[in-house]
Amino acid sequence: MQLVTTIVELQKIIKNWRLAKKRIAFVPTMGNLHDGHLKLVHEARKHADYVVVSIFVNPTQFGVGEDFANYPRTEQEDIKKLQAVSADLLFLPSADEMYAPNAKTVVSVPGISDLYCGASRPGHFNGVATVVCKLFNMVQPDSAVFGLKDFQQLAVIRMMVRDLNIPVHIIGVATVREASGLAMSSRNGYLTAQEKTIAPLLYQALCAARTAVQESKRPYPEIERDAMQFLQQAGFRPDYFSVCRSGDLNKAGPEDVDLVLLAAAKLGGTRLIDNVCFSR
């Protein structure tokens, strides 16, 4: 696996691959890699001759009081994991390499970025859209692979690619879960031993709500309210729990078929997100 830290080095390699008419798949990450990330690399391999992975903890998607300074950075372990799954190139830039001094340009996807996590974390998805757009310009992949766990993030990126005519095929990969059902996440490492026993209840609440939507005629707001109460009683501080249309993430109605349940809740000091997609 090649490791590069500058845009110039990266684009020199990409240019040679392009001249050889090779297809390139891209997996952007913030590091602290787990089996969910490695699944993305395996999926990327199915779609390309070369797989590029980036590790960059992006400061512009963290808000005031969030965990940017303490976000886990495990570069040496990550490199070993990527070598084991035969990634072809790791792009490991610094913040100074990624952002020019006094950079002004921001990529914004209004509407969808203002819902749910966007409402709780103002500016977060502007940071995500901007850095992903920059990475797409640098790597110029044919396809890019993202996990479905961050469903709203994926929806924002799909809309950005569509609206800006970026020639990248976006691939979503199912969430990888621990045996308990807890969605794998770099932030799970913040959970205490006791919190780790409670955290899987978030997924259980989503599964129960999915069953309620599919099998009952109860109004969606009532199902959402029951789920929020369940999470509160379990020890969470729920942010939202919503029955949405999977296409645009607006609130679903009884006439909608393709749905996603989106949830976010704090457990101790850790903010967890999860979702389930289904049709009714």
Ramachandran quadrant class, 134 (left: phi over 0; alpha: psi -120 to 50; beta: rest): alpha
Burial of residue 57 (CB within 10 Å: 0-12, 13-18, 19+) is middle
Cα 153 to Cα 13, 62, 157, 177, 253: the distances in Å are: 29, 14, 6, 19, 22
Going by the DSSP 8-state scheme, the letter that residue 113 receives in this structure is G
Specify the range with the lowest mean pLDDT, choosing from 30-44, 58-72, 79-93, 134-148.
58-72
**198 vs 70, more confident:** 198
Strand order in the sheet with 143-147: 2-4, 89-91, 50-55, 24-29, 143-147, 169-173
Taking only the tens place, the pLDDT of each residue in 133-155 is 999 999 999 999 999 999 999 99
- pLDDT of residue 39 exceeding 80: yes
Catalytic residues, which ones? 37
Single pTM value for the model: 0.95
DSSP count for the chain of H helices, then E strands: 10, 9
Q: For residue range 207-231, list pLDDT tens digits in order.
A: 999 999 999 879 999 999 999 999 9
What pLDDT shows up at residue 70?
Answer: 84
Residue 130 predicted with pLDDT over 80: yes
Going by their DSSP bridges, the two strands 237-245 and 258-267 should be labelled as antiparallel
Q: Walk me through the domains of the chain, giving residue ranges and CATH numbers.
A: 2-173 (3.40.50.620), 186-279 (3.30.1300.10)
> What is the pLDDT, as a whole number, of residue 63?
87
How much of the chain exceeds pLDDT 70, in percent? Answer: 100
What is the distance between the alpha carbons of residues 59 and 47, in angstroms, rounded to a whole number? 30
pLDDT higher at 233 or 218: 233
